[in-house]
Structure 1
Amino acid sequence: MRAWHAMWLTLINQAIADLNRREAERDEGQRRRPAPEWTIEHALGGPHEII
């Protein structure tokens, strides 16, 4: 039983470490992303109906 639980604990810890690493990589990528050269602004006043 101890070996089985130790195996699962190792797998769970590895999965958590992988998720943390991916999240850190995503955050770093967003931080390094250059600012866009242009942006699109929507009209003020809310959504407009298309007829």
Structure 2
Amino acid sequence: MTARLPPIAAAIAEIVAVEETRLRLLLQSLDATLHLVIELLSPPQYGAAY
């Protein structure tokens, strides 16, 4: 049983790393979407170009 732990631990670590990357990408996408929605819902900035 102890001989199986290192490969299992390595597999778990790989899965965790992949899921961490997926979660980071998801959060970046949600952040970008939220910023876009806020920008679209904000009132126009009159006089900002002057």
Match of 1:15 among 24, 31, 40: 24
Q: How many residue pairs were aligned? A: 40
Runs of at least 5 residues in structure 2 that lack an aligned partner in the other structure: 1-9
Percent sequence identity over matched residues? 3
Deviation at 1:37, TM superposition (A): 2.8
> Whose helix fraction is larger, Structure 1's or Structure 2's?
2
**TM-score using structure 2 length:** 0.70
CA distance in 2, matches of 1:16, 1:37: 35
Query: Which 4+ residue blocks in structure 1 deviate beyond 3 angstroms?
Result: none
**TM-score using structure 1 length:** 0.69
Q: Output the aligned Cα RMSD.
A: 1.0
CA distance in 1, matches of 2:14, 2:43: 46
Runs of at least 5 residues in structure 1 that lack an aligned partner in the other structure: 41-51
